[in-house]
Every structure is written in C-alpha cells, then in structure tokens.
A and B are shown apart, each in its own frame.
Chain A
Amino acid sequence: MAAPVREPLTVVRGDLSHQLRATWVVCRRELLRFGKDKARMLTMLLQPLLFIFVMGTGLGSIVDTGGGTDFRTFLFPGVLATSVLFTAAFSGISLVWDREFGFLREMMVAPISRSSIIWGKCLGGAIVATGQSLILLALIGTVGIPYSPVLLVQLVGCLFLGSLLLTALGVLLSTRIKTIQAAMPISQMLIMPMMFLSGSLFPVSGLPDWLAVLTKLNPLTYVVQPMRHLVLEQLSLTDVERERLLPVITWFGWSVPVGVQLIAVGAITLALVALAARTFRTVE
C-alpha cells in the first residue's frame, strides 16, 4: 500500500456555511425541476384566472360591496394568495415522491442536517410558487388597481411569506405520508378547506360563529387579510365598504393589526419547519 491515505476532498469551511450551501442546492433542485415542467406552470394559472374573471364577473352583478368597488378588486388579493396555495403545498408534498423514487435517500445520507434539507425544500417551493404568482400579479391593473412599485413589492413579500408557510405545511405532511396514492387525497383534503376558510373568496364579515372560528384558525387567513388591506387601501373606500370588505380580525376581543398577522404567519412557519425536522429525524 504505497499511496498515502488521502484526506477527503470535502472542504468544510465552518459548519454553517456548509449547511447553507446544502440548503441552497436542495432549493436549486426545486427550481430546476419546476423549470422543466412548463405545462404544470400554465395549468396552475388556470384556476385563479377562472376565479377572478369568470366567477368574479358572474357574481359581481349580484354582490353589493356597499360602494363603487368592483367585486373583482376585492377578490383579486384573495385569489392571488390561494394561487400560491396549490403550487407551494404540492412542492412540499413532493417529498413523498422523492422518497418513492429513492432520491430522498441521497439527501438523507449526505453529511448535512435534516433541517438544511427541509429549509431547502421550503425555500425552493416558496420561490417557485411566488414566481408563478408574478404572472397573475401582472394582471392587477385589469381590476382597477394602480401599478404602484411599493404595493407590488409588499404583495410579493406577503406571497413569499405565505408560500413558505404552505410549503412547510406540505413538507410536514410528507414526513408522515408514506405513499404517493395517499398524498393526493390528503393534500386535497387540506387545500380545499384552507382555500374556502381563508376569506379569500368572500368577506369574513358577518359570518356565523362556527365559520368565523374556523377562519381564524386557518393560517392562510393571515396571508389573505394583509394582502387585501394593501390592495384596498389604494382606493378610497366608503365606511360601509370598509366595514364589509375589510373586517377587523379579533383574537379574544383584541383587534389584530396586519403586522401581527404577518408575524404570526412567520412564527407558524418556523414551528412547522421545526416540527417537520423532528418528525423526519425520528422516522429514519
């Protein structure tokens, strides 16, 4: 045995930078895969378009907003938020496919932490979902909202935060779901109620108690409401409109400011990721 023992090529410059790099490559894989799937990108856009321009126009004639505001203007931020729901949640759940086709193993045996894998998956899913919603966002002018750069940046921020939450939720689910057959029905069972109970398609004002409670328990509500605030603040609303379209959300009688709602979304996301990492660790 003449040759010397070689040290591995692996250059570990501080554990954190290695973990961050791992997160980035897992994230980049999501982007690469999505980029190859143009059909998926387009089909995902169909549903929000139907909601805004078909359902919004159809119902617009019978819905009384309490002023001159177009129902579609009300609908737009809600549909924008739900448009990321599908893409983001499915990105998270795709971990089930990674497991089925073996690739998860390649990631799991690498010298990186499970949290790095999960964060990479979440960031990738969030970027993909947000990127896709930009196409929809470009149509904001068609419902009478000005293209204000500040507004657009704020909306993208909200969408990203929401996407991150939903991807994390999908990842958490996929640490439990073991088969592809189960993944689809379970995710549908989660996504549809989340969409309808978020106030995305109708105002949460004047709801019966049971419905109001479910809405408040739904994290997506706290993505929809801030976005709707941002959009409707662009217009001059009458008091009646404000009351109907922008109802105040209360927790035990306390009116929750929009900023706190967004912080709640962030906190829930962190909790979901932590939980997913833990479940992941215990199930080998």
Chain B
Amino acid sequence: MPNTVREPAISVGGLTKSYGRGDQLIEAVKGIDLSVEAGQTYGFLGPNGAGKSTTIEMLCTIRNPTSGSARVAGYDVVEERDEVRRRIGLVFQQQTLDQQLTAQQNLRFHADLYGLARGDADRRIDEVLDMVALSDRRGDEVQKFSGGMKRRLEIARGLVHSPQVLFLDEPTIGLDPQTRRAIWDYLHDLRRRTEITVFVTTHYMDEAEHCDRIAIMDNGEIVVEDTPEALKSSVGTDRIALRTDDDELTIGRLRERLGIEAAMHEGQVTLAVAEGAQVVPRLFTELDTVIQSVTVTRPSLDDVFMAYTGRTIRDSEGPQSMAAVFAGRR
C-alpha cells in the first residue's frame, strides 16, 4: 500500500457549543481547532467541566455544534451523521450495557444494530472477547461482572464493528489503579494490532503519558497541543516543593535573595527552576528558614498543566468534582 496523503481521522475547526441564551448563556466549548492523524492515540486532558465531554459528544454526533465544523473518519458530523456513526466506536463515561443480557448478547445486539453480516459478526465477537480476555465469561449476565470487566466489555463492544476511530470518554474513571493499568494495556495492544485512531479524554495526568499527542483543555478552550515529550521540555523546568516552618517568609526570601518566584500549592511552597539539583544547596545556605523537607520533581504533565493554566489539575477541581467521580462510578 503506497503511503498516500491521508485525511486526518479527526479535523475540527472553530467548534463551539453554548447552552441557554441571554444572560444564562454558557459557552461550554469556545471555538476549538484540532487535527488528529489516523493511527494516533490522542489524549484530551482537562479538569472536570473543562468542556471535554461536550467536545467528544459533538465529535460522536450526539450533540450538534452551535457553530464550527468537525469531520470524523472523513465525514461531517452533522451532514453525514450515519456515515460517521458507522466508522466510530464509543465508550462512554456512564455504563451503557444491558445488565440483564449476557456479554455475548450485548455484543450481538451491537453487531446487529451496526448491520454486520452474520459471519462477520460471529468472527468479530470472538475476536473482541478474546482481546479483552472475557471469552470464558461470554455466557454470563453482565450484572455479575465487576466494574473493570464491564469496562473491558464496553471497549470490546465499541470495537465489534471495526471502527476507524475509537472514542473513550474517561474510560478509567472510578476504577482501581490495577484495573486502570489493565485497560491501558488493552488499548496499547489494540494499537499494535490495528491502525485504529484512539481519542481518549481523561483527567488523570499520568494516563496522558500513554498518548502520542495531547491537548489540554481548560474553560472551553484548548490551551496547548503537542506530544507529551515536547510539552514537558517546553516547560523545561524542575519543580521543587518545600515544607517549611514559615511559608510566607520563605516565599519572600526566595524572591529577594534568589530572584525566584514561588507560590503555594497543596500546602507546599512550590517553585520552578531549570536545574533543581543546583538550586537545592543554595536553599539551605541562603534562605535562613527552617526547611522540613524538599522534593525535586522532573517535569511531568502536571507541571505542563500548571504552566499553561496557572494551577494544578487538582486545584481546578472543586468539591463538586468528587460528586462527578461518584456519579461516574455508579
């Protein structure tokens, strides 16, 4: 197959979505542009309420955009809705399995709805069940499954009709770390075996490391978009977190004596410097305050998020986000 120029799997231009009108108008998505190459795993990051779910719902043809355009798998999400739907697989934040039916019956239902021929359907159902290691449980009712198994089954179901793009909205929300890792293992495995494009939203920064490219969304806008490595080196700094007896004094002296701006994050004095290892000895000699502990961290995506939005992802999640976590867990 010659390496021809291909249309991006997802291309979005000036996409907006508002709810309500007049004074009540809420702009959930404020004109975003993005392009996802075929075969990539693309991470969509941001705190709860950033507009990630609304964006993914527009790309999946569940909501119509207020303005702007989006093409997925080569078709317009509004004008050619069914063409898009045939070519995408969806895994929602909320559980969408029929608990009273067996795993096999759920998959069969999906295959029928998407119009797969009998033989194709049987073969695909076997393949996807095998992929998520649920072949031996295919005859069991879904209500007997654990949360992680249900999630795996939903991913399998999203793949039954061999979509070109797989959308996952917070696929690991409410799952324990071990299961989260397992889910990512399946997704990596999937990428190795097929050329599928994966579009995943998450607010776990560590999961973004699994992606080829990421976009950080905040307040309805994409603040930055690049590979995780490029983003980390663009921040280019190590982060130092200090526990001290007098945080105010420490911040003041850091500014006066070392010329470094610091701020409080999660109860610690936090500063960004080019080379952490060289700064630490000077802290002890020049600050003259009691330092209880020092932590130096190489740049992580949390720092990238902080650099571009001015806060850590946990700062930006109010108490209501816990409610969202529990809602997603249900």
Cβ contacts B77-119/A at 8 Å (1 or 0 each): 0000111011100101011111111000100011011111100
Contact of A101 among B83, B99, B120, B195 (CB under 8 A): B99
Stretch in A4-12, A54-62, A157-165 touching the partner: A4-12
Main secondary structure of the interface of B (DSSP, over half): loop
Selected A-B contacts with CB under 8 Å, 17 pairs: A5-B38, A6-B164, A8-B161, A9-B116, A11-B116, A12-B86, A24-B112, A25-B109, A25-B113, A29-B101, A29-B109, A32-B101, A33-B98, A102-B92, A106-B97, A106-B110, A110-B113
Highest count of chain B CB atoms <10 Å: which of A24, A107, A109: A109
Tell me whether B161 and A9 are in contact (CB under 8 A): yes
Residues of A within 8 A of B95 (CB): 101-102
Tell me whether A5 and B6 are in contact (CB under 8 A): yes
B: which residues have CB within 8 A of A?
A: 1, 3, 6, 38-39, 60-63, 81-83, 85-87, 90, 92, 94-101, 105, 109-110, 112-117, 120, 124, 157, 161-164, 194-195
A105 to B92, CA, bound (A): 9
Contact of A111 among B85, B92, B120, B194 (CB under 8 A): B85
Interface residues on A, range: 20 to 34
The closest CB in chain A to the CB of B96 belongs to A102
A150 within 8 A of partner (CB): no
A111 to B94, CA, bound (A): 20
A5 to B124, CA, bound (A): 18
Cβ contacts A233-244/B at 8 Å (1 or 0 each): 000000000000
Tell me whether B96 and A106 are in contact (CB under 8 A): yes
Contact of A9 among B81, B99, B162 (CB under 8 A): B162
Residues of B within 8 A of A107 (CB): 113
Residues of A within 8 A of B92 (CB): 102, 105
A2 within 8 A of partner (CB): yes
Residues of A within 8 A of B163 (CB): 8
Residues of B within 8 A of A18 (CB): 115
A95 to chain B, nearest CB (A): 13
Tell me whether A10 and B97 are in contact (CB under 8 A): no
Given contacts A25-B109, A106-B110, 19 further A-B contacts (CB under 8 A): A5-B6, A6-B164, A8-B86, A10-B116, A10-B161, A11-B116, A21-B112, A22-B115, A25-B112, A32-B105, A36-B100, A102-B92, A103-B97, A105-B92, A105-B96, A108-B62, A111-B86, A111-B113, A112-B113
A46 within 8 A of partner (CB): no
Residues of B within 8 A of A22 (CB): 112-113, 115
Q: Which residues in window 176-201 of A have CB below 8 A to B?
A: none
A109 to B116, CA, bound (A): 16
Contact of A109 among B62, B83, B98, B164 (CB under 8 A): B62
Residues of A within 8 A of B6 (CB): 1, 5
Q: Which residues in window 1-46 of A have CB below 8 A to B?
A: 1-6, 8-12, 18, 21-22, 24-25, 29, 32-33, 36
Residues of A within 8 A of B63 (CB): 284
Given A4-B1, A109-B60, A110-B85, decide whether A33 and B101 contact each other with a Cβ distance below 8 A. yes
Main secondary structure of the interface of A (DSSP, over half): loop
Residues of A within 8 A of B85 (CB): 109-111
A8 to B196, CA, bound (A): 12
Given A5-B164, A25-B112, A29-B101, decide whether A105 and B86 contact each other with a Cβ distance below 8 A. no
Residues of A within 8 A of B114 (CB): 10, 110-111
A: which residues have CB within 8 A of B?
A: 1-6, 8-12, 18, 21-22, 24-25, 29, 32-33, 36, 101-103, 105-112, 284
Given A9-B116, A21-B112, A22-B112, decide whether A33 and B100 contact each other with a Cβ distance below 8 A. yes
A124 to B287, CA, bound (A): 76
A103 to B98, CA, bound (A): 6
B179 to chain A, nearest CB (A): 19
Residues of A within 8 A of B105 (CB): 32
Interface pairs A-B: 4 shortest CB-CB: A111-B85, A102-B96, A25-B112, A110-B113
B184 to chain A, nearest CB (A): 22
Tell me whether A1 and B195 are in contact (CB under 8 A): yes
Tell me whether A8 and B87 are in contact (CB under 8 A): yes
Tell me whether B162 and A105 are in contact (CB under 8 A): no
Residues of B within 8 A of A109 (CB): 60-62, 85, 90
Residues of B within 8 A of A8 (CB): 86-87, 161-164
A101 to B142, CA, bound (A): 13
A29 to B173, CA, bound (A): 29
The closest CB in chain B to the CB of A104 belongs to B96
A61 to B60, CA, bound (A): 65
Residues of B within 8 A of A2 (CB): 1, 3
The closest CB in chain B to the CB of A101 belongs to B99
Tell me whether A102 and B97 are in contact (CB under 8 A): yes
B118 to chain A, nearest CB (A): 10
Given A1-B3, A103-B96, decide whether A6 and B38 contact each other with a Cβ distance below 8 A. no
Highest count of chain B CB atoms <10 Å: which of A101, A105, A106: A106
Residues of A within 8 A of B195 (CB): 1, 3, 5
A24 to B114, CA, bound (A): 13
A101 to B117, CA, bound (A): 28
Residues of A within 8 A of B94 (CB): 102, 105
B70 to chain A, nearest CB (A): 15
Given A25-B109, A102-B92, A109-B85, decide whether A1 and B39 contact each other with a Cβ distance below 8 A. yes
A6 to B165, CA, bound (A): 12
A106 to B105, CA, bound (A): 13
A22 to B86, CA, bound (A): 14
